[in-house]
Structure 1
Amino acid sequence: MDRSNTGKLRVGIVSANWGATAHLPAWRLLGDVEVTAICTSRKESAEAAAKQFAVDRPFWDFEAMCADPNIDVIDAGTNPILREKMVTAALNAGKHVVNQLPFTASLESAERLVALQREKGVVGAAACSVVGLPHLALMKEMIDEGSIGEVYQVHCSWQMSFFLKIFPGFPYTWFGKSGLGVSVTRNQGSHMLHALLQVFGPIESVVGRMETQAKTWDLPSGETMAVETDDTSHALLRFASGAMGTLTTSWTAADSPGFHIDAFGSKGRLRLDALAYPSVASAKLYAAKSDFAIAPSGHEVPVPERLRRVDGRIVEADPNDGTGGQRVSLARLFEGFSRAVRDGGEPPASFARSLEVQRTVEALYASHRRKAWVDLTPGADLG
Structure 2
Amino acid sequence: MTKKPIGVGIIGASKTSWAAVAHIPALRLIPDFKLVAVSTSNQASAQAAADAFGAAYAFDNAHDLANCPEVDLVVVSVKVPTHRQLVTAALTAGKMVYCEWPLGNGTPEAEELTALAQAKGIRTFVGLQAVARPETRYLQQVLAEGLIGEVLSTSVLGSGMSWGATVNQAGQYLLDPANGATLLTIPVGHLLAAFARVVGDFQHLSATLARRRTQVTLQPENISLPQLTDDQVVVTGVLAQGAVASLHYRSGTTAGLNFHWEINGTKGDIVLSGDSGHYQLAPVSLQYAPSGEALRPLPIPVELVGTEEPAQPVRGLYEAYQAVLNDLRHDTHYAPTFENGLHLHRLLDRITQASAEGRTLNVDLAAQLNN
| TM-score w.r.t. length of structure 2 | 0.90
Pair 1:43-2:43 in alignment: yes
1:1-383 to 2 correspondence within 5 Å?
7-15=4-12, 16=14, 17-164=17-164, 166=166, 170-219=169-218, 220-255=220-255, 257-276=257-276, 277-278=278-279, 282-291=283-292, 297-309=294-306, 314-318=307-311, 325-378=312-365
Alpha-carbon distance in structure 2 between the residues aligned to 1:290 and 1:9: 48
8 Å contact 2:165–2:213 — kept in the other structure?
no
8 Å contact 2:269–2:290 — kept in the other structure?
yes
Q: Match for 2:291: what amino acid?
A: S
8 Å contact 1:77–1:99 — kept in the other structure?
yes
Q: The residue matched to 1:172 in structure 2 has which SS?
A: helix
Q: The residue matched to 1:131 in structure 2 has which SS?
A: helix
Aligned-CA RMSD value: 2.3
Alpha-carbon distance in structure 2 between the residues aligned to 1:35 and 1:244: 44
8 Å contact 1:160–1:255 — kept in the other structure?
no
8 Å contact 1:13–1:20 — kept in the other structure?
no
User: Deviation string for 1:13-50 (max 9, x for gaps)?
Assistant: 12232122111111111110011222222223222333
8 Å contact 1:161–1:256 — kept in the other structure?
no
8 Å contact 1:162–1:252 — kept in the other structure?
yes
Alpha-carbon distance in structure 2 between the residues aligned to 1:237 and 1:94: 41
8 Å contact 1:159–1:256 — kept in the other structure?
no
Alpha-carbon distance in structure 2 between the residues aligned to 1:374 and 1:105: 23
Alpha-carbon distance in structure 2 between the residues aligned to 1:10 and 1:341: 13
Q: Which runs of 5+ in 1 are unaligned?
A: 319-324
Deviation, 1:166, is 4.5
User: Deviation string for 1:149-168 (max 9, x for gaps)?
Assistant: 11111112321433435465
Alpha-carbon distance in structure 2 between the residues aligned to 1:120 and 1:355: 17
Alpha-carbon distance in structure 2 between the residues aligned to 1:278 and 1:202: 18
- Larger helix share, 1 or 2: 2
Where does residue 321 of structure 1 map in the other structure? none
Once the two structures are overlaid, the 10-residue window that deviates more, 265-274 or 99-108, is: 99-108
Deviation, 1:251, is 3.2
Alpha-carbon distance in structure 2 between the residues aligned to 1:71 and 1:347: 23
Q: Match for 2:323: what amino acid?
A: G
8 Å contact 1:133–1:280 — kept in the other structure?
no
8 Å contact 1:207–1:236 — kept in the other structure?
yes
Once the two structures are overlaid, the 10-residue window that deviates more, 134-143 or 347-356, is: 347-356
8 Å contact 2:157–2:248 — kept in the other structure?
yes
Q: Match for 1:93: what amino acid?
A: A
8 Å contact 1:125–1:347 — kept in the other structure?
no
Change (3 A) 1:355 1:26: same
Q: The residue matched to 2:269 in structure 1 has which SS?
A: strand
8 Å contact 2:187–2:279 — kept in the other structure?
no
Q: The residue matched to 1:346 in structure 2 has which SS?
A: coil
Deviation, 1:52, is 3.4
Q: The residue matched to 1:179 in structure 2 has which SS?
A: helix
8 Å contact 1:263–1:269 — kept in the other structure?
yes
Alpha-carbon distance in structure 1 between the residues aligned to 2:28 and 2:359: 46
Deviation, 1:255, is 4.3
Change (3 A) 1:167 1:183: closer
Q: Which runs of 5+ in 2 are unaligned?
A: none
8 Å contact 1:359–1:376 — kept in the other structure?
no
Alpha-carbon distance in structure 1 between the residues aligned to 2:316 and 2:364: 31
Alpha-carbon distance in structure 2 between the residues aligned to 1:106 and 1:281: 25
User: Deviation string for 1:114-166 (max 9, x for gaps)?
Assistant: 22222222222222232222122111110011111111111123214334354
Q: Match for 2:248: what amino acid?
A: T
Q: The residue matched to 1:187 in structure 2 has which SS?
A: helix
8 Å contact 1:258–1:278 — kept in the other structure?
no
User: Deviation string for 1:205-254 (max 9, x for gaps)?
Assistant: 22121122222222233432212212221111321111111122133233
Alpha-carbon distance in structure 1 between the residues aligned to 2:147 and 2:231: 36
Q: Match for 1:30: what amino acid?
A: I
Aligned length: 362
Alpha-carbon distance in structure 2 between the residues aligned to 1:280 and 1:67: 31
8 Å contact 2:204–2:360 — kept in the other structure?
yes
Alpha-carbon distance in structure 1 between the residues aligned to 2:124 and 2:260: 27
